[in-house]
Amino acid sequence: AQTVTQSQPEMSVQEAETVTLSCTYDTSENNYYLFWYKQPPSRQMILVIRQEAYKQQNATENRFSVNFQKAAKSFSLKISDSQLGDTAMYFCAFAIIQGAQKLVFGQGTRLTINP
């Protein structure tokens, strides 16, 4: 069975700073996807970024980037130039590639961006 662990329940940084959220996972599978989802106070789950395990290059989306270390089973999210609108719960998630992708989520990290 796959597990996802987010070891930082809460984090807080000042606006414009860079912050890194940690995620580790455990699996025996070789082909899978990793995701970061954002959940603002509205509760809507919003995809932030996605990484395919077979790709060596780290995914980037504007101010968001990941550090994917497959051997270490680590998948951290870096937010650059943080903004007040980045305040949210962030969930790391894992899904194997074959068939319908059942997401396995971590417990979440509550990120607060202070003005």
Chain residues binding other proteins by CB under 8 A are: 4, 33, 35, 37, 42-47, 50, 91, 93, 95, 97, 99-108
For residue 1, the minimal CB distance to other proteins (Å) is 9
Shortest CA distance to 3 belongs to which of 92, 78, 68? 92
For residue 30, the minimal CB distance to other proteins (Å) is 16
Q: Is the CB of 94 or the CB of 113 nearer to other proteins?
A: 94
Q: Which residues have a Cβ under 8 Å from the Cβ of 23 and sit 6 or more positions away? A: 4, 5, 6, 34, 36, 74, 75, 76, 77, 92, 106
Q: Is the CB of 71 or the CB of 100 nearer to other proteins?
A: 100
DSSP 99: S
For residue 49, the minimal CB distance to other proteins (Å) is 10
